[in-house]
């Protein structure tokens, strides 16, 4: 039986997991605007292990999000085995192993990019995850490299790269590799290491997804051309721009794409807010929506003053009133872009 990865069109466009962002409400928007596969916020395997019967909001999704993959992080193979089994029982289309997150909280717990320093433990984790599931594929997300440390905790000259990981796990049935083009030490700055990404593409016998800094359709095409990837994972580039998926697909097909006008953006933002409130309740939903509202309105005339009001909204009516005041203004915008 083919996994969902094998049925997707090429190139593949994926919503990458982001804590506090890629909840069900945002995943639904991403799917609406052309994402081929969406990932959950990452989940701690230790948390699932120590609270196995507790409900977990990050394990909830709608049928319209499919294919939807659940990403997990941690450092204990046994916990990954248990988590992967639960993820399959919950009905997800795939399980992803986080070997790339540079966040201090994750790194300090021994997870994320830390695992690239310990290839033996990485192998054990991936092996346990693959053995735990029967009918869904396993993928791995990591970075191009990480500096290693010696027994005293000081920096060593040795580095481990994604090529080391690929060579280590060659016999395991990992179906997809999602690779961020920047190393751990500069996680969000600088140009991706295209050479290392292309070498990883050539070395990995599976679906290869490139990630790292894609925020425009033009850059998406550059990433595909320079890495030879089967697709792209979008992350921070979709902050306030869930329609970026559609723009990229249009640009690749016709060399042009539509920029939504402020009225359209306001409507999308309001729909987003309504879904967040429905899923999480008024207080939490509005609180989490505030950062999205700031992203949606970034770069607008008078954005600084508008942000002061948006971060204080308490109700959907507040949001609707503020956004309505913006659509009544006269705007100049470029209706499409082309190279």
pLDDT at position 77 is 97
State the DSSP H helix or E strand holding residue 211, giving kind and residue range, or none if neither.
strand 207-211
Are both 85 and 149 inside the same structural domain? yes
Q: Which residue has the higher pLDDT, 339 or 295?
A: 295
Q: Which residue has the higher pLDDT, 56 or 28?
A: 28
Domain end, chosen from 230, 257, 284, is at 257
Q: 306 falls in which pLDDT band (50, 70, 90)?
A: confident
Q: Which residues contact 165 (CB under 8 A, 6 or more apart)?
A: 99, 116, 119, 122, 140, 142
Are both 188 and 314 inside the same structural domain? no
Are both 111 and 196 inside the same structural domain? yes
Mean pLDDT value across residues 116-121: 94
Are both 247 and 266 inside the same structural domain? no
Number of structural domains, the chain?
2
Q: Which residues contact 113 (CB under 8 A, 6 or more apart)?
A: 99, 100, 101, 102, 107, 142, 143, 146, 184
pLDDT single digits (tens) 200-257: 999 999 999 999 999 999 999 999 999 999 999 999 999 999 999 999 999 999 999 9
pLDDT at position 333 is 40
Q: 53 falls in which pLDDT band (50, 70, 90)?
A: low
Are both 70 and 207 inside the same structural domain? yes
Domain of residue 313, residue span: 262-327
Write out the two tokens for 142.
């990591």
Buried b (16+ CB within 10 A) or exposed e, 21-40: bbbbbbbbbbbebbbbbbbb
Are both 70 and 213 inside the same structural domain? yes
Rounded to a whole number of angstroms, the CA Rg of the chain reads 20
**The 3-state secondary structure of 158-190, one letter per residue:** EEEEHHHHHHHCCCCCEEEEEEECCCCCCCCCC
Q: Residue 73's Cα: distance from chain center in Å?
A: 14
CB 168 within 8 A of CB 123: yes
Are both 164 and 303 inside the same structural domain? no
Q: What is the rounded average pLDDT for all residues in the chain?
A: 91
Are both 141 and 289 inside the same structural domain? no
Q: 146 falls in which pLDDT band (50, 70, 90)?
A: very high
Are both 243 and 284 inside the same structural domain? no
Are both 280 and 320 inside the same structural domain? yes
Which CATH number do you get for residue 280? 1.10.1200
CA distance 69 to 241: 21
Catalytic annotation present for 101: yes
Percentage of residues in the chain having pLDDT higher than 70: 92
* 333 found inside a domain: no
Are both 246 and 279 inside the same structural domain? no
Q: pTM score, two decimals? A: 0.92
Mean pLDDT value across residues 287-316: 90
Q: Which residues contact 278 (CB under 8 A, 6 or more apart)?
A: 285
């Amino acid at each position: 039986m083919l996994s969902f990865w094998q049925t997707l069109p090429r190139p593949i466009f994926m919503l990458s997991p982001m804590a506090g962002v890629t909840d069900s409400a945002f995943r639904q928007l991403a799917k609406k605007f052309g994402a081929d596969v969406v990932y959950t916020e990452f989940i701690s395997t230790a948390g699932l292990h120590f609270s196995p019967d507790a409900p977990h909001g990050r394990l909830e999704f709608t049928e319209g999000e499919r294919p939807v993959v659940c990403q997990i992080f941690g450092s204990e193979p046994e916990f990954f085995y248990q988590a992967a089994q639960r993820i399959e029982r919950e009905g997800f289309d795939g399980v992803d192993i986080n070997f790339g997150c540079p966040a201090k909280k994750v790194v300090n717990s021994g997870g994320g990019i830390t695992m690239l320093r310990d290839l033996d433990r990485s192998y054990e984790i991936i092996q346990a995850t693959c053995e735990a599931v029967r009918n869904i594929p396993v993928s791995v997300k990591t970075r191009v490299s990480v500096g290693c440390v010696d027994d005293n905790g000081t920096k060593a000259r040795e580095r481990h790269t994604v090529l080391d990981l690929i060579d280590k796990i060659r016999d395991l049935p990992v179906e997809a590799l999602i690779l961020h083009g920047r190393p751990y030490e500069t996680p969000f700055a600088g140009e991706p290491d295209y050479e290392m990404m292309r070498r990883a593409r050539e070395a990995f016998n599976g679906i290869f997804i490139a990630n790292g800094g894609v925020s425009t359709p033009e850059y998406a095409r550059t990433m595909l051309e320079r890495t030879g990837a089967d697709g792209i994972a979008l992350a921070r580039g979709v902050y306030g721009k869930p329609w970026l998926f559609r723009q990229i697909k249009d640009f690749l097909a016709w060399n042009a794409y539509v920029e939504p006008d402020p009225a359209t953006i306001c409507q999308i933002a309001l729909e987003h807010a309504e879904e967040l409130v429905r899923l999480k309740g008024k207080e939490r939903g509005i609180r989490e929506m505030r950062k999205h509202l700031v992203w949606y309105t970034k770069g607008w005339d008078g954005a600084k003053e508008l942000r002061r009001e948006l971060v204080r909204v308490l109700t959907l009516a507040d949001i609707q009133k503020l956004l309505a005041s913006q659509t009544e203004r006269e705007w100049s915008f470029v209706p499409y872009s082309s190279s």
